[in-house]
Amino acid sequence: MRKLLHVVGARPNFMKLAPVLRAFEGRAEQVVVHTGQHYDANMSDIFFQQLGIGHPDINLEVGSSSQAQQTAQVMTKIEPVLIEQKPDTVVVYGDVNSTVAAALVATKLGIEVAHVEAGLRSFDRTMPEEINRVVTDRIADLLFTPSEDGDENLRREGVSPEKIQRIGNVMIDTLVRLLPAAEEAIAKSPLATWIGKPYALVTLHRPSNVDDPQALLATCRALASVARDLPVIFPVHPRTRARLAAMAADEPASLHLCEPLGYLEFLGLQKHATVVITDSGGVQEETTFLRVPCLTMRDNTERPVTVTIGTNILIGRTAARIEDEVRRVLRGEAKHGAIPPLWDGRAAERMAEILSGRAQVASNV
């Protein structure tokens, strides 16, 4: 039986891993390695619980550090794991440091690498994630893309067509499966009082938005202005919370700030939001599937399908646009969008069929 070793390290990876694990049940021996890139319980452990993944088989406990240090630590710690486990395929997810680190080590050991969510590009090399995406795609053997633009990017970069397999968005598989549980979870949470009422949901964590004190202060003021017309719920990422504390600024009383939420609770809030304001790639995808207007505080996105087809609007990092675009939504001028092709909850199953088919061909040679 084929042996797969899955490498995950940050919260978005977990939502992608869950459906793939289920799709390969009975088809492959599977080992899950958690690098520990996200180590906070609210950002990691609770996700494993809610997604039904269970505890990872191996935790490298890398923790937080600089880009270079974190990548190097993952590489150093995962090499003996790969040598001992001897997987047929290492499966990496998304675009975090753990992704590129595991891909590099596996490739140098002669182990096949499959990249889930391949081909996405923001074309912004100042983003560490963009470097991780490009490098991983150059060395991976199998590239599972979520949308047509991913295929086009890879072909333009000279990737052999036989390596590219468009399967759809595995994170949407998780959303489809757990949306009923998310509705139940939010109904039981203290945030249940918001369901059925209009509100904006905010999540911001990228350095470009939260590391500059003046920019962060301007954003908070814009959100406070929005809150005069529309309540604002803001689960605060640990990075953002630390920046607010360092500024020694009073948290705007008009904003409903709370701790980071579990996957189910946050999904439930997204489902019922009037508008979502974010800088997260995954949230852009989830709001597109849920048909909820999304305002993304970035100048670019590696998920352009959420803009060309979905509900997403790029508003840049100018806080003033937040107020303008929210007012448009409140006037009934929201972007409704559509759901991209193959975002149907079956992406992981398609991936399993492809890999299983390749294994069968190889065994017959």
Decide whether 2-169+343-364 matches 177-330 in CATH topology. Answer: yes
Gap between the Cα atoms of 224 and 222, Å rounded: 5
Residue 203 pLDDT > 50, yes or no? Answer: yes
What would the pLDDT profile of 117-160 be if each residue is shown by its tens digit? 999 999 999 999 999 999 999 999 999 999 999 999 999 999 99
**Weakest mean pLDDT among 62-71, 202-211, 256-265, 295-304:** 202-211
Kindly give, in sequence order, each residue whose CB lies less than 8 Å from that of residue 250, ignoring residues fewer than 6 positions away. Answer: none
Tokens of 212: 């500059």
Whole-number CA gyration radius for the chain: 20
Mean pLDDT within 107-112? 98
3-state DSSP call for residue 216?
helix
pLDDT band at 16 (very low <50, low <70, confident <90, very high): very high
Q: Percent of the chain having pLDDT more than 70?
A: 94
pLDDT tens per residue, range 316-335 = 988 889 999 999 999 999 99
- The domain limits of the chain are 2-169+343-364, 177-330
112: which strand partners? 89
Model confidence at 365, pLDDT cuts 50, 70, 90, reads: very low
* Active-site choice (6, 38, 55, 205): 205
For residue 31, pLDDT beyond 90: yes
List, for residues 276-306, the tens digit of each pLDDT value. Answer: 999 999 999 999 999 999 999 999 999 999 9
**If we measure between CA atoms, which residue out of 37, 43, 16, 33 comes closest to residue 237?**
43
288, two tokens = 């597109």
Is the confidence at residue 359, as pLDDT, over 70? no
The predicted pLDDT at position 250 comes to 56
- pLDDT band of residue 45 (cuts 50, 70, 90) is low
* 80 pLDDT higher than 50: yes
Top-confidence residue, 250 or 45? 45
- 362 vs 233 pLDDT, higher one: 233
The confidence score (pLDDT) of residue 43 equals 52
C-beta atoms surrounding 158 within 10 Å: 7
Q: How far is it, in rounded angstroms, from Cα 113 to Cα 154?
A: 16
| Phi then psi dihedrals of residue 160, to 5 deg | -60, 130
205 is catalytic: yes
**Mean pLDDT rounded to a whole number for the chain:** 92
Q: What's the confidence (pLDDT) of residue 364?
A: 45
Element (H, E) at 107: helix 97-108
Per-residue pLDDT at 345: 98
Q: What is the CATH number of domain 2-169+343-364?
A: 3.40.50.2000
- Cα distances (angstroms) measured from residue 53 to each of 31, 46, 137, 242, 326: 12, 10, 26, 30, 37
Positive or negative: CA dihedral 61, 63, 69, 75: positive
Q: Tokens for 220?
A: 């908070």
- Tell me the CATH number for domain 177-330: 3.40.50.2000
Higher pLDDT: 170 or 238? It is: 170
pTM comes to 0.92
- As a whole number, mean pLDDT of residues 72-83 equals 98
